[in-house]
A and B are shown apart, each in its own frame.
Chain A
Amino acid sequence: MKRLFWLAIAIALLFAGNLVNNNLKDYWQDVIQQCGIAVILAVSLNIVNGLTGQFAIGHAGFMAVGAYTGASITYFAAAKFAHVGIPGPAWMLVAMVAGGLLAAIFGYIVGVPSLRLRGDYLAIVTLGFGEIIKVMLENTHDISPALDYMGGATGFQNVPSLSKFPLLWGMAVLLIILVRNLKFSSHGLAFMSVREDEIAADAMGVHTTRIKVSAFVLSAFFAGVGGVLYAHAKLIKPDVFGFTLSMSYVVMIVLGGTGSITGATMAAIVLTALPEALKPVRDKIHFTDEYLQVIYALILVLMMILRPAGVFGTGELSFAWLRRRFGRPKNSAIETGEAPPEFTHTAGERKPLEPGEPLVLDTVHLTRRFGGLTAVGDVNLQLQRGELVGLIGPNGAGKTTLFNLLTGVYEPSEGTLAFCGSPLAGERPLPPNRRWLRLTGDVLLAAFGGWIIGIILSTSVVPFIDPNKPESLHLQLGIKWAVTILITLWAIVLAPRRRRYLAGYKPYQFAQRGISRTFQNIRLFGELTVLENVRIGTYLRRRTNLFDALFQTGRLKREEAENIAKARELLSRFNLLKVENEQAKNLPYGDQRRLEIVRALATGPRLLLLDEPAAGMNPQEKVSLMGLIREVRDDFGLTILLIEHDMKLVMGICERIYVLDYGRIIAEGTPGEIRNNPKVIAAYLGEEETEEIVQPEMPSPPIRTQLQPE
């Protein structure tokens, strides 16, 4: 109902705008059109550069792909189907879908190889892509004479002017709404988690490569649509879609605030319209466009110094913000959500151990070497469901490395790791469909490469042969095809043996299967709020997809409500609900540690790995944390392995302890056995350890776990 109301308002506004627009001078109609296109391009680029934190600088390339595709469709449609009477706007829709899709396909091809890697590869690749598209469009005749209608460097003539105000601005508004929907859903949070901390995002079960590629493809799609609209508004020439245009969109989002939709929108409008609005003044003082470039550069430099996050940062101009800023708050419950729900035991599945139940964690000879250094060597670790086990050892003994092995950050050099009875570490063959896809791709690539090499070789013999004899032509052809075929055959034989055809389990897959962790040097998503951090944890167990997020479907709303309730329930349990809307980076150290535990719990783990959970807490806080860890273990039916240097805590809550020194387990046993083990005292506890160990008054767990006989 509410949605219909807003839709009606939007349509009314569009028509009112159209009415006003039609009565303006042509010049201003043109400016308004340009603003709309800039908004579409800037907002779509912001999906990649702002939300996901990547750096793409070839947006005009995708725009060009869309523009030429769309223009081709309407160009031919107008000629061939004029008599059938299908109206232009209908073809425009087809053109937009086709232009968007083709741009998206290009986005996928460009994105997949460059987004696997972290760093600036994307910037370089997109920059190159933009230039390649431009050059290709300039030389359409050389590619194929059939493309001559595109006009090469002179531009694509006779494209019908179909980018009317309602369509153009309707698309712009639609895009803004879609991206807004995405940004505030947990899918959007997953995008932002990649921006904040890729390693932590991975550990929370976010498939970072897939997220980055999705963002990039989505962004390319909308750039393509924007290109189609541009093509039906102005003459399209290849040199329009150059580096300058790409950069102008980057400038818009940098000024507006990378990550802010309203910021990008406003910057797009201001930077497009302002120079035009000032035209009468500029003409008087002979202030040409060249000077304008200087002004832009200056503004950008000033922005970087004074407000590097852009005018809006990642925030949004919203009704809620306006209310906070200028009026009395409507109702705080709307902003903070409803009262926290009563805690219910969501996963109270603590069943008694069955005989023959597989171990939760079982490692055999687990080893990891770095160069010549064995960081973890020959570790055999067995955890039964429901156990709370400690891992102690001197600094540098390999405890954190072991955690990284157990969560897929490192692959073991040797040994195996089984989780709940199924192997997790080590390499396995790719699933057959992906294997075939990869094989086909590799063979095609080899054939193409072979063909090129063949051409080069066959031309290099030219100086040595007599061009007038027919045999020499045969020789050339023979060399070319022989080389092509040989290289292709070589690829077919060799490809399946390559490492590419094997896959290791990635950290996000460990998380999906139920291993979650906290980090020794806290890795929260600092810019995001406490609640958002926990919601990213719940993202892993989602049942909705990206399209649900874009279009705010009913099931997405239900799921978000559930997830938020679950997140707040967990937060209230760890006494963090009162700071749910603070940025995570502003919490004190100890609270950040507890937030990491909450975030890990939100992924719904079966095994929880805690890396120094009590570091930075005072004794009193440690005691309450100990209680919480136990409680959580019991209520959620978890198995917990924890690294901690506070012996009071470790000895107080752990039922069993492993001691690691120089990468090897030197002792294993109950706290009492460990405390008196001379090896452990020598390597770790120190002789002066005099502090008495206080057994806190905690209810003993309902089920005593029995150690399996070794």
Chain B
Amino acid sequence: MLTITNLSVYYGAIRALDGISLEVKEGEIVTMIGANGAGKSTTIRTISGLVRPRSGEVMFEGKPLHTLPPHQIVTLGIGQSPEGRRVFANMTVRENLELGAFTRSKHKVQVREDMERVFVQFPRLKEREAQSAGTLSGGEQQMLAIGRALMARPRLLLLDEPSLGLAPFLVQNIFKIIREINQQGVTVLLVEQNANQALRIANRGYVLETGRVVLADTAPNLLKDDSVRKAYLGE
């Protein structure tokens, strides 16, 4: 479904990605793990078109993404919950979610159904429906960012640190929700510092170090791998 080959990205003179290649197949949950600055967020941002690669390509179902502007990439069926939330602070929770469904706002009934589903998954958002997003707490904004990404009914969902700033029981919840979403047919590319949990729900994983893929394997194998356990699972 998504194929990345030899991707290199620079921020000014700093090299963030040094020729990484990875693949996400339809129906999978794939996770990227690695230290801070390894290039995980940059990869996500390159896929969604927020960052332009210096070389290499990103193909989605045979179409090149690295030449498209972000708003067209969204219409292809790629949704993103960005790192650092970035909710529309002066709009209400409901409006934020409606904007998430902006690309298919014609299908009113569907959009309403999807919104109800988001409210079931995050009851807290239902409580704050009419509140402006800027007044939500950090964790609530995180829920909203994920909910908003889901509203686009993406076929590929890019999640950058979805558990960031969430209380422990919500963290467990969020992973359950990701698995549910996946079972409904959404392919997921997941970046998580909580590598343990991420690998438990993922099919495959890539380990990134300083902008390169150093290890790629199935998730259970990575969970067993001694070097991974030591470096990223905190054992």
Nearest A-chain residue to B230, judged by Cβ: A620
Q: Which of B11, B33, B165, B232 contacts A615 (CB 8 A)?
A: B165
Beta-carbon contact of B233 and A619 below 8 Å: yes
Q: How large is the interface on A (under 10, 10 to 19, 20 to 34, 35 or more residues)?
A: 35 or more
Question: Using Cβ atoms and an 8 Å threshold, which residues of chain B touch A195?
Answer: none
Nearest B-chain residue to A682, judged by Cβ: B169
Q: How far is the CB of B164 from the nearest CB of chain A, in Å?
A: 5
Question: Using Cβ atoms and an 8 Å threshold, which residues of chain B touch A684?
Answer: 167-169
Q: Which of B158-197 contact A (CB under 8 A)?
A: 161, 164-172, 193, 195-196
Nearest A-chain residue to B14, judged by Cβ: A586
Q: How far is the CB of B132 from the nearest CB of chain A, in Å?
A: 12
B70 proximal to A (CB < 8 A) = no
Question: Using Cβ atoms and an 8 Å threshold, which residues of chain B touch A648?
Answer: 234
A22 proximal to B (CB < 8 A) = no
Beta-carbon contact of A645 and B140 below 8 Å: no
Q: Which of A575-617 contact B (CB under 8 A)?
A: 582-583, 586-591, 612, 615-617
Q: Which of A636-658 contact B (CB under 8 A)?
A: 645, 647-648
Question: Using Cβ atoms and an 8 Å threshold, which residues of chain B touch A685?
Answer: 168-169
Beta-carbon contact of A686 and B36 below 8 Å: no
B69 proximal to A (CB < 8 A) = no
Beta-carbon contact of A686 and B168 below 8 Å: yes
Residue among A392, A612, A620 with the highest chain B CB neighbour number at 10 A: A620
Question: Using Cβ atoms and an 8 Å threshold, which residues of chain A touch B135?
Answer: 370
A393 proximal to B (CB < 8 A) = yes
B25 proximal to A (CB < 8 A) = no
* Contacts A521-B85, A590-B37, A686-B169 given; does A619 touch B138 at CB 8 Å: no
Q: How far is the CB of B69 from the nearest CB of chain A, in Å?
A: 15
* Contacts A588-B41, A616-B164, A618-B234 given; does A396 touch B36 at CB 8 Å: no
Nearest B-chain residue to A592, judged by Cβ: B36
Beta-carbon contact of A620 and B232 below 8 Å: yes
Question: Using Cβ atoms and an 8 Å threshold, which residues of chain B touch A615?
Answer: 164-165
Question: Using Cβ atoms and an 8 Å threshold, which residues of chain A touch B172?
Answer: 686, 688
Beta-carbon contact of A621 and B36 below 8 Å: yes
Q: How far is the CB of A495 from the nearest CB of chain B, in Å?
A: 35
Q: CA A618 – CA B228 in complex, angstroms?
A: 12
Q: CA A648 – CA B196 in complex, angstroms?
A: 14
Q: Which of A395, A522, A591, A689 contacts B143 (CB 8 A)?
A: A395
Q: CA A522 – CA B84 in complex, angstroms?
A: 9
Beta-carbon contact of B137 and A395 below 8 Å: yes
Q: CA A378 – CA B121 in complex, angstroms?
A: 32
Q: Which of B12, B36, B143 contacts A618 (CB 8 A)?
A: B36
Beta-carbon contact of B234 and A617 below 8 Å: no
Question: Using Cβ atoms and an 8 Å threshold, which residues of chain A touch B161?
Answer: 589, 616
Beta-carbon contact of B36 and A620 below 8 Å: no
Question: Using Cβ atoms and an 8 Å threshold, which residues of chain A touch B171?
Answer: 645
Beta-carbon contact of B36 and A588 below 8 Å: yes
Q: How far is the CB of A481 from the nearest CB of chain B, in Å?
A: 50
B99 proximal to A (CB < 8 A) = no
Beta-carbon contact of B234 and A521 below 8 Å: no
Question: Using Cβ atoms and an 8 Å threshold, which residues of chain A touch B193?
Answer: 616-619
Beta-carbon contact of B234 and A395 below 8 Å: no
A288 proximal to B (CB < 8 A) = no
Beta-carbon contact of A689 and B168 below 8 Å: yes
Q: How far is the CB of A192 from the nearest CB of chain B, in Å?
A: 19
Question: Using Cβ atoms and an 8 Å threshold, which residues of chain B touch A586?
Answer: 11-12, 14
Question: Using Cβ atoms and an 8 Å threshold, which residues of chain B touch A621?
Answer: 35-36
Nearest A-chain residue to B231, judged by Cβ: A620
Beta-carbon contact of B168 and A396 below 8 Å: no
B129 proximal to A (CB < 8 A) = no
B139 proximal to A (CB < 8 A) = yes
Question: Using Cβ atoms and an 8 Å threshold, which residues of chain B touch A622?
Answer: 234
A520 proximal to B (CB < 8 A) = yes
B22 proximal to A (CB < 8 A) = no
22 residue pairs from A and B, CB less than 8 Å apart: A394-B170, A395-B138, A396-B128, A396-B140, A398-B137, A521-B84, A582-B14, A583-B12, A588-B37, A590-B36, A612-B165, A615-B165, A616-B83, A616-B161, A616-B164, A618-B35, A619-B232, A620-B231, A621-B35, A622-B234, A647-B168, A684-B169
Q: Which A positions have Cβ atoms within 8 angstroms of B? A: 370, 392-401, 520-522, 582-583, 586-591, 612, 615-623, 645, 647-648, 684-689
Known pairs A395-B166, A619-B232 / 10 extra A-B pairs, C-beta < 8 Å: A392-B167, A395-B124, A399-B137, A590-B36, A612-B138, A620-B35, A647-B168, A684-B167, A686-B169, A689-B169
Give the 8 A-B residue pairs with the shortest CB-CB distance, closest first. Answer: A619-B234, A395-B139, A686-B169, A590-B36, A588-B37, A396-B137, A588-B36, A520-B138
